[in-house]
Structure 1
Amino acid sequence: MRLSELAEAIGVDFSGEECEISGLGTLKGAKRNELSFLDNPKYIKDLATTEAAAVLVSPKYADAVPEGTAALVDEEPYLKLALASAFFAPVPMKRSGAKPLIGEGSEIAENVAFGKDVVVGRGVTIMPGCYIGDEVRIDDDTLLYPNVTLYNRTIIGKRCIIHAGTVIGSDGYGFAHTKEGKHVKLHQLGNVVIEDDVEIGANCAIDRGTLDATVIKEGAKLDNLVHVAHNCEIGEHSLITGQVGLSGSTKLGRNVVMGGQSGTAGHLEIGPFATIAARGGVTKSIEGGKVYAGFPLMEHKRWLKLNALLSRLLEKKK
């Protein structure tokens, strides 16, 4: 869309150099023909170096928009981004495109459903009931158990194992909120990238990125019933056990271990080789190489001492 037309459609004033907008992008990743936004002050450092053609921004950050990038100033930039995303949302199913390209030695069950422009590598096994969406890529020697669903543009690496009932690439939980309390869908335009030698348990849900990719890196292992929200990054060889929930834009370093029913708030980082004990709640970024427990989260030894102290206090009251 022409930038002036897009601005008018979402109700934002625009004056400046006209250009074509072909998509949306993050401040860090946007190209010269894309629209970006700034809503969270955590990302103000990325505004100075963005290559986006235009940025939706609140008045207090308007002066920080770099030269050569148009500032679309509005009190509710995230809401306006949500409105803009509807114009770039992909169609649920492509009407035209190539038939699946299946590599040598792959075994595909009869009732597997394929979208358009799918590429499957060599030695891949796809069991009954799976759905492989448009433009999906599955690399060599990967195994999909029954009823796995891969949404459009999902990328799966080599030697991965994905267990029954898992959904990869579903929409992230992204909504902008109006002043009247209505919820406007932010269409999820990214995808999911799963690198080599990853194993994902049964009935997991891994959301596609809002604008970029949700990434699970090489060698990571996910247990059953894990939820990975949009824009998360799980580091190499990390271990994520049952019923863990990662909020949006959580970044795990390599070899992070998360115990059962532990979880994170969004937009934080967990350092490499950190361990979160069962039911631990991570609410802010933490350094790696340590063991944590509890809610609010603290180092595991301190958590043990706290519980011992509470136990002695209760004994004294008897």
Structure 2
Amino acid sequence: MEFTVQQIADLLQGKVEGDNLVKVSTLAKIEEAQQGALAFLSNPKYEPYLYTTGASAVIVSESLELQKPVSAALIRVADPYSSFSTLLQYYQTALIASKVGVEEPSFMGENTQIGENHYRGAFSYIGHNCKIGNNVRIFPQVYLGDNVVIGDNTTIFAGAKLYANTVVGSNCTIHAGVILGSDGFGFAPQADGSYKTVPQIGNVVIKDDVSIGANTSIDCATMGSTIIGKGTKIDNLVQIAHNVEIGEHTVIAAQAGISGSTKIGNHCVIAGQVGIVGHITIADKTTIGAQSGVSKTVKNPGTIIQGSPAFDYKENLRAMTVFRKLPELQRQLEELKGQQ
């Protein structure tokens, strides 16, 4: 795909400085870009590359004052990073939208309804009584069980598996290897020391505008639904257990694990390798630092916690400062004992 600098500026609501008819056909880092590429500059430490880059055009801040002549055409915008992200999104959407039609072999069950302008990749399987919206992209080797519902403009990448009765909203992205609706970890201990499986008969409900990273697993509810709220973004390799409820616009980084029946609020930030016990509540706008272990309810919105067990972030930093000094404190204590 090839665009003029002016076309890109119009898309980003920016202003062109230089030749607005220059054409670009690829995106690149400012330090690596060559002719025909579009780059961006948002971090001041990369400004020297602006004067040496081979890029045909660069997205820059409208407030940037040039220190030297620039050979590339400039597209001035309010926020270069956000504008470049918007451009990447348009580019990715255009690539995905180019996938249309049905590749064979593929299977679609009885009484399943599928909307217009869809794509079904080879070896995909869609069960019975499913309802799939318009502009849905289902890549090769995707499995959709019976009674699955998929909203408009949702993309399901290769190898994802959605168990029966899963509901996914509109404008969602489900990356490769995601599992939605597998059994929750429900086993009842018996008197003889064995464990009896507790049937998991609920489902998973994914609201609109959710992104789920590769190889993430979200378990179905024992009864009712495991729910992921609107706009929430989940990284790769995240485990979300049965009956968990996650609010709107929460972000969860890789290798986090959330135990059963925990409720997480809106606009929370959960960093990598966080572990959260079951049956607790996390308040809105809570931030949980990397590798934290959360063992109790967080009641106050806007709380920032860190550590295992997790507690107030600033107090944790102070505690870690003392912890690092423990060997020296012990040495001093032993010296004092020797002086007695």
User: TM-score with structure 1 length normalisation?
Assistant: 0.68
Which of 164, 176, 192 is the matching residue for 1:152? Answer: 164
Corresponding residue number in structure 2 for 1:272: 284
Tell me how far 1:120 sits from its aligned partner. Answer: 0.6
Name the aligned partner's letter for residue 307 of structure 2: G
Q: Distance in 1 between matches of 2:260 and 2:330?
A: 43
Aligned pair count reads: 222
Question: What SS does the aligned partner of 1:301 have?
Answer: helix
Which of 196, 202, 216 is the matching residue for 1:184? Answer: 196
Corresponding residue number in structure 1 for 2:119: 107
Name the aligned partner's letter for residue 196 of structure 1: D
Corresponding residue number in structure 1 for 2:308: 295
Which of 134, 145, 149 is the matching residue for 1:122? Answer: 134
Tell me how far 1:181 sits from its aligned partner. Answer: 1.0
The share of aligned pairs that are identical, in percent, is: 42
Question: What SS does the aligned partner of 1:218 have?
Answer: coil
Matched, 1:166 2:178: yes
Corresponding residue number in structure 2 for 1:308: 321
After TM superposition, list the pairs within 5 Å mapping 1:67-146 onto structure 2.
98-146=110-158
Matched, 1:242 2:227: no
Tell me how far 1:309 sits from its aligned partner. Answer: 1.1
Alpha carbons of structure 1 residues 110 and 313: separation in structure 2 relative to 1, 3 Å: closer
| Unaligned residue ranges in structure 1 (runs of 5+) | 1-96
**1:257-297 CA distances to partner (integer Å, 9 max, x unpaired)?**
11100011100000000000001111110122111000111
**1:24-50 CA distances to partner (integer Å, 9 max, x unpaired)?**
xxxxxxxxxxxxxxxxxxxxxxxxxxx
Q: Distance in 2 between matches of 1:279 and 1:316?
A: 27
Corresponding residue number in structure 2 for 1:282: 294
**1:152-187 CA distances to partner (integer Å, 9 max, x unpaired)?**
000000000000001000000001111111111111
| Unaligned residue ranges in structure 2 (runs of 5+) | 1-108, 332-340
Question: What SS does the aligned partner of 1:312 have?
Answer: helix
Q: Distance in 1 between matches of 2:194 and 2:328?
A: 51
Tell me how far 1:107 sits from its aligned partner. Answer: 0.9
Name the aligned partner's letter for residue 314 of structure 1: P
Tell me how far 1:310 sits from its aligned partner. Answer: 1.6
Q: Distance in 1 between matches of 2:123 and 2:308?
A: 46
Q: Alignment RMSD, CA only?
A: 1.0
Q: Distance in 2 between matches of 1:248 and 1:261?
A: 17
Name the aligned partner's letter for residue 203 of structure 2: N
Q: Distance in 1 between matches of 2:325 and 2:198?
A: 50
Name the aligned partner's letter for residue 121 of structure 1: G
Q: Distance in 1 between matches of 2:260 and 2:218?
A: 11
Structure with bigger gyration radius: 2
Q: Distance in 2 between matches of 1:266 and 1:317?
A: 38
**1:226-279 CA distances to partner (integer Å, 9 max, x unpaired)?**
000000011100000000000000100001111100011100000000000001
Tell me how far 1:98 sits from its aligned partner. Answer: 2.8
Q: Distance in 1 between matches of 2:323 and 2:193?
A: 42
Q: Distance in 1 between matches of 2:296 and 2:279?
A: 8
Q: Which segment is superposed worse, 308-317 or 145-154? A: 308-317
Q: Distance in 2 between matches of 1:119 and 1:181?
A: 44
Name the aligned partner's letter for residue 165 of structure 1: G
Corresponding residue number in structure 2 for 1:72: none
Q: Distance in 2 between matches of 1:141 and 1:303?
A: 44
Corresponding residue number in structure 1 for 2:213: 201
Name the aligned partner's letter for residue 207 of structure 1: D
Q: Which segment is superposed worse, 166-175 or 99-108? A: 99-108
Question: What SS does the aligned partner of 2:227 have?
Answer: strand
Q: Distance in 1 between matches of 2:110 and 2:264?
A: 37
Question: What SS does the aligned partner of 2:205 have?
Answer: strand
After TM superposition, list the pairs within 5 Å mapping 1:33-44 onto structure 2.
none
User: TM-score with structure 2 length normalisation?
Assistant: 0.64
Q: Distance in 2 between matches of 1:119 and 1:313?
A: 61
Matched, 1:217 2:229: yes
